[in-house]
Structure formats: structure tokens, C-alpha cells
Structure 1
Amino acid sequence: MNHLGDANLRTWVLRFTALLAADAPDQLAWLRERELETKDVVDELELLCRISEGLTERGAFAPQNLRSFRAIGRRLGEIDTACRTGLWADALSADPAWSEIRDLARQVLLTALGDWRQPLPRPVRPHTGDH
């Protein structure tokens, strides 16, 4: 890694990957107070896969991580457009693609951190404009 920005991006990628790798009940518990649209999650995940390319080139991830990220990207591309609508909490249990993505995310974490069991990301508070 050669940039502070790379370290921050790597952290963001790993946090999102931890959410993807979590057991389904943990994912659903995390989503309980959030209404994330599946389309938005897919968009973020596609961005994560693109970012991982550059991070790997700069040494922030091992080549085997990139293979897993590329496999995640391919699997995302196979998700039918109709399955990208609605809440992600519903899609997690209805679409088997998310189980396969969970396994691939676990591979990333095993390679990068030695264990796929990682804390889930803390919620981001919406910006209200107040100081």
C-alpha cells in the first residue's frame, strides 16, 4: 500500500465484505433497522469489486483476494434484474446468489485477515446539516 487513501479504501472494502460474509441471521439482524434496497447493495458491491482491482495492483490485497472479488462480480452479473428490486433483507433469503456471495466474501476475509468472522460495520448516521 502506498497511500493513506488505499488504507481507508481497504478498510471500507473489508467492512462491507464482513457484512456480506456474516451468517444470514446476523445480516438480517443488522438490517432490522435499515431499509436497504437490493439495487443499492448491488451497486455498492460492484463498486467494491472495481476498487479491489486497483487496491490489488497497489499491494493492498493479495492476488487470491482479487480472484474472489472477480467471482463476486461475476455472480452479481448473473443476478436477474427482477431480483434486484425490493429490500435486501428479502433478497437475502429468497435468492441463492447471496449465499454464494457470502461464501466468496468469507474467502476474501480468510485470506486478508485470517478469519471470516469480523465485526459488522457500525451504522452510519445520516447527515442532518446540524453541527
Structure 2
Amino acid sequence: MNALGDAHLRSWTLRFMALLAADTEDQLAWLGERELETESVVEEAELLCRVSEGLTERGVFEPGNLRDLQAIGRRLGEIDAACRAEDWANALATDPAWDEIRALARRLLLTTLGDWRQPVPRPARPHTNDR
């Protein structure tokens, strides 16, 4: 990948990790009225964790960052199918896995950026068929 693409993937990974690191109240505020399945969040984060291996090989992330991202990916992989099928807002309130993922994401951001408190990504607009 080119440097611009690598920079974009690094930026997106860190912004998404900021969402995972945020306090539950902030995550719920980010969700707003949207219904988002836990599976979608898990898939996006797992993809970013996998992509980080190549980014680390190209010097975009440090090896310590990769270990943190791999730990996040492993913990996400342990979330069972029943929990993945539920609404993420419900999962945040009931599944202790998200507390562990939050702690891992905070550790990554702390070591990478010096502070885990980072702006969360802007929520995507709901898709409509209107033009």
C-alpha cells in the first residue's frame, strides 16, 4: 500500500479504537438512536486489527502497538455468536467483554498517542434511498 493509504488506515484504526476506548455513556451517545448490531462493530474492529499486521511490517505501527491490537482482536474473537447478534447498545450494558475491550483499547491509545481520551469518529449517516 502507499504511504497515503497506510496513513489513512492508521488514522481510521486509532479513531475506531477511540470509540472502543470511550466510556459506555459516550459510546451510547455516539450510537444515538441508531441500532447497530454488535457483529458489525466486531467485524470492523477485527479487520482493523488484522490490517495492523501489515502496517506494522511497513513501520506505521510499533511492534508494541501490534501486540495490543492483536490482544483486542483475540478478545473480540471470543465474543460468542449470540452476543454478536444483539444490538451493540444492549451488549455494552450487559456483556463484560466490552469492559475488557475498552481497557485494551485504552492501553493501545495511551502507548500510541499518550492519552486514551481521543475524539470518537463521526457516526455514519443512516442510509436512505432518497436523493
TM exceeding 0.5: yes
In 2: Cα distance, 1:51 partner to 1:91 partner: 25
Residue in 1 that maps onto 2:119: 119
Two-structure CA RMSD over aligned residues (Å):
1.7
SS in 1 for 2:120: coil
State how 1:1-131 maps to structure 2 within 5 Å: 3-125=3-125, 126=127, 130=131
**Matched residues, number:** 130
- Give the share of equivalent positions with the same residue, in percent: 71
In 1: Cα distance, 2:123 partner to 2:92 partner: 19
Q: Give the TM-score normalised by the residue count of structure 1.
A: 0.91
What code does the residue aligned with 2:36 have? L
Deviations 1:33-80 (A, max 9, x none): 321110111111110111111111111111111111111111112111
- Stretches of structure 1 lacking an aligned partner (at least 5 in a row): none
Deviations 1:67-96 (A, max 9, x none): 111111111121111111111010011111
Q: Give the TM-score normalised by the residue count of structure 2.
A: 0.91
SS in 1 for 2:43: helix
What code does the residue aligned with 2:62 have? A
Cα pair 1:65 1:107 within 8 Å, conserved: no
In 2: Cα distance, 1:59 partner to 1:129 partner: 43
Cα pair 1:72 1:101 within 8 Å, conserved: yes
